[in-house]
Amino acid sequence: MKKIIIANFKMNPLTKKKAQELFKAYDIKTKHTVVLCPPFPFLEKGKNYILGAQNCFCRTEGPYTGAVSSKMLKDVGCKYILIGHSERRHIFGETNRIVNHKIKLCIKNKVKPVLCVGENAGEKRDVVLKKQLKEGLKDAQTKGIIIAYEPVFAIGTGKVCEIKDIINSFNLIKKIVPDAKVLYGGSVNSLNAKEILKVTDGILVGGASINKKEFLKIIK
């Protein structure tokens, strides 16, 4: 079945040349929808993949030095934007309120937001997800929205979430946002991707997406 596979390159690779090598390798026909989210300076459209971005600012234009808006990203070919990734929340201090502004602006500017949610280790999953979804999607049109469940303890650690917990989170998110497509992210690799794709609408791949061999195995 056709799934959504999103590559989050994060702040990698270091050069445009290396990013282009990845684009070239990943620009292949596959049954899945493949979305590549490189760093801003390397954004480049391809034939077989869809371009995405890792973040945008919560305003459309104006005196906001260093900021990039969803409208600009749309103009250079981005169709998806990751919003509220846990690294944005924890390192850059993004709150659910800011996330909500960004989501609404993406929708207004006709780019698909991918809302990232997930609990820290030791937090109550249901409570955190409900709050992040309620506040992040407040007054937003949820038709066609994509939500990525990414438990923080699983991101970049190699400790993938157990399948039963992925299924529980998937069901909880679908119950709260019935229109959503729900992805899983956190230590996805070529060995666990198939099993996770069976129980979700797709995956969000970080570390493994900048490893050519790994990511090709995942999308093929």
Collapsing DSSP to helix, strand or coil, 148 comes out as strand
Q: Which helix (H) or strand (E) holds 165?
A: helix 163-176
AA letter at 191: L
In the structure encoding, which two tokens stand for residue 27, read together? 């620009």
CB nearer to ligand PGA: pick between 140 and 188 = 188
- By CB under 6 A, is residue 84 in contact with ligand PGA? no
Active site residue 32: no
Measured in residues, the chain has a length of 220
132: closest CA among 172, 181, 164? Answer: 172
The residue whose Cβ lies closest to ligand PGA is 206
The residues, any chain, with a CB within 8 Å of residue 104's CB and separated by 6 or more, are 139, 140
Measured distance CA(202)–CA(218) in Å, rounded: 11
Least Cβ distance, residue 77 to ligand PGA (angstroms): 21
**Interface with ligand PGA by CB under 6 A: which range of 56-64, 132-140, 149-157, 166-174?**
149-157
The Cα 219–Cα 61 span in angstroms is 36
Q: Which stretch in 148-156, 161-169, 190-198, 211-219 sits in contact with ligand PGA by CB under 6 A? A: 148-156
- Contact (Cβ atoms closer than 8 angstroms) between residue 170 and residue 178: no
Q: Contacting ligand PGA (CB under 6 A), which of 104, 150, 193, 197? A: 150
Tokens of residue 22, six digits:
């990845």
Please state the closest distance from residue 119 (CB atom) to ligand PGA, in A: 14
Of residues 161 and 177, the one with the C-beta less far from ligand PGA: 161
CB of 6 to ligand PGA, least distance (A): 8
User: How, if at all, do strands 146-149 and 33-37 pair?
Assistant: unpaired
Contacting range for ligand PGA; rule: CB under 6 A; set: 15-23, 39-47, 176-184, 186-194: 186-194
Candidates 69, 100, 132, 187: give the one binding ligand PGA (CB under 6 A): 187
Catalytic one among 85, 87, 94, 119? 85
Determine the Cα–Cα distance for residues 200 and 149; give it in Å rounded to an integer: 10
Burial 1-14 (b: 16+ CB within 10 A, else e): eebbbbbbbbebbe
The correct pick among 8, 70, 132, 200 for binding ligand PGA (CB under 6 A) is 8
Is 150 labeled as catalytic in the residue annotation? yes
x-or-dash pattern for ligand PGA, window 197-216, by CB under 6 A?
-------xxxxx--------
Catalytic residues: 85, 150
Interface with ligand PGA (CB under 6 A): 8, 150, 155-156, 185-188, 204-208
